[in-house]
Amino acid sequence: MFNKSYSFARVTQMACCGCFGFAFARQSKRLVKKHMGNHLSQEFLLNEELEDEDNSSHNGDSSDNGHGDEGELRSPTKRSEEILMYRTQHGLICREFPVKETHKLIRSEDENGNKMVNEYVRECKIGSGSYGKVVLYRSSVDEKHYAIKAFHKSHLSKLRVAPCETAMTDVLREVLIMKILDHPNIVNLVEVIDDPTTDHFYMVLEYVEGKWVCEGSGPSGGLGDNKARKYLRDIVAGLMYLHAHNIVHGDIKPDNLLVTAAGTVKIGDFSVSQVFEDDNDELRRSPGTPVFTAPECCLGLTYHGKTADTWAVGVTLYCLVFGKYPFLGDTLQDTYDKIVNNPLSLPDRMDPLLKNLLEGLLCKDPRERMTLGAVAEHAWVIEEEGPISQYLCWCKRKRLEREGSHGSSQDNQARTDNTV
């Protein structure tokens, strides 16, 4: 299975990326070393991204798809952008209505002195992160609320995240990914405001008027099986949609899962996501959060992004059910050691179906790990609602219509030939 003699030197070269928009400010490795074993160091492992002390990088090398040090190998980040641009330019997007693109920015105030960005009236700050802040705005046009991510382009362009990439690369890739997505379990990107004459850059997102999936559960207990099952079904539905479109999220965790007032879970934060041209989803280094990192990622080996996402779903389900993490140490090294080597600990008296599901999701061997398709049809997940069905998205509907039209044309031709 996995060898205990793996090098911690290799492990500590890897980094994690916290949830933008709903995370604490980044802290250096020096701070973590100083507070080893206390609450702060664990908080760092759960939410934060490692940062080199010289601030030259916020997540080390971006996920690398190479099988060696050959210079001719392009990074998957560049490939992701190329794939996304190709899809966008050729109309291969999964949206009936495209994201609005605005290239004129007007910053003003309303009659009450509230700051405005174009039509949007500022109400309050609702989150902050490494790259910028998230603010609640109300549209003066439709009176709806929106969550707006605000960035400074000059700051992002100076923030190096890899030898040839900046934080602006991450943000633009996130925008490109969200431009092609449309699913009820994915946070929707409504508008991008990018005025070339200003330093401001805004992502206008649907406002999820709810909470995070674990909010209110407390550290001592979970949400209960029924709510955990409902949330899991939504998470799996959204992730199956992403994987069907060859998108690896890369950072599935409760902090990136929002619950609407109606109880629907929506996946957010695509800042470390990658896109692939086909089913070959190989990566080398993981930019995700340490406690949600799959064993194969901890070893610094080449791994498959989709199976790593599936492991993170298993950790998330464990959190929802038990209100704690399955593998958590006092330090980064200790956490990775537990993920790779410690057996999964589950109560003796628990639902055997749920136990089977967690053991399948948190299988350390990625080749034996349960697939999302199997999760969708698992007895514990089905309960009374039945299997999770694949969402008939816009691009799939268009493809079926084209195939149906082509089939009808062939049938008509065949009937004509028979008549002749």
Do the domains spanning 1-95+208-398 and 96-206 agree at the CATH topology level?
no
Which fold, 1-95+208-398?
A: Transferase(Phosphotransferase); domain 1 (1.10.510)
96 φ/ψ sector (left φ>0, alpha ψ -120 to 50, else beta): alpha
Give dist(CA 133, CA 20) in Å, integer.
8
Tally of residues, the chain = 420
**pLDDT confidence bin for 319, thresholds 50/70/90:** very high
Strand order from edge to edge, sheet including 120-128: 100-102, 189-194, 200-206, 145-152, 133-139, 120-128, 115-117, 107-109
Report pLDDT for 53. Answer: 29
What's the whole-number mean pLDDT along residues 165-184?
90
DSSP H or E run through 303: strand 303-304
pLDDT digits (tens, 9 = 90+) for 25-76: 233 333 233 333 333 345 556 654 433 323 333 333 333 333 333 333 345 6
**pLDDT confidence bin for 285, thresholds 50/70/90:** low
Report pLDDT for 215. Answer: 60
Burial of 291 (0-12, 13-18, 19+ CB in 10 A): buried
Residue with more model confidence, 315 or 413: 315
Catalytic residue status for 199? no
Give dist(CA 173, CA 165) in Å, integer.
11
Report pLDDT for 387. Answer: 83
In three-state secondary structure terms, 227 is helix
Report pLDDT for 66. Answer: 36
Sign of CA dihedral 228, 234, 238, 239: positive
Give dist(CA 399, CA 316) in Å, integer.
34
Residues of the chain above pLDDT 90, percent: 50
Does 96-206 carry CATH code 3.30.70.20?
no
Q: Which of 88-92, 105-109, 134-138, 366-370 has the lowest mean pLDDT?
A: 88-92
Report pLDDT for 27. Answer: 32
What's the whole-number mean pLDDT along residues 173-199?
94
Report pLDDT for 26. Answer: 30
Give dist(CA 179, CA 182) in Å, integer.
8
Residue with more model confidence, 72 or 205: 205
Report pLDDT for 271. Answer: 86
In three-state secondary structure terms, 340 is helix
Q: Which of 165-179, 388-402, 403-417 has the lowest mean pLDDT?
A: 403-417
Q: Which of 117-131, 179-193, 239-253 has the lowest mean pLDDT?
A: 117-131
To the question of whether residue 4 is assigned a binding role by annotation, the answer is no
Half-sphere exposure of 98 (CA within 13 A, CB side): 11
Q: Structural domain boundaries of the chain?
A: 1-95+208-398, 96-206
Report pLDDT for 96. Answer: 81
Q: Which pTM was predicted?
A: 0.76
The residues with which 193 forms a beta bridge, in sequence order, are 102, 202
Average pLDDT, the chain: 78
Comparing CA positions, the residue from 180, 161, 136 lying closest to residue 77 is 161
List 61, 251, 255, 309, catalytic entry: 251
CA angle 50, 236, 210 (to 5 degrees): 75
- Name residue 36's amino acid: M
pLDDT digits (tens, 9 = 90+) for 348-381: 889 999 999 999 999 999 999 999 999 999 999 9
Virtual torsion, Cα 95, 96, 97, 99, nearest 10 deg: 10
- Name residue 228's amino acid: A
Residue with more model confidence, 119 or 15: 119
* CA distance readout (Å), 107 to 58, 78, 153, 237: 30, 33, 16, 39
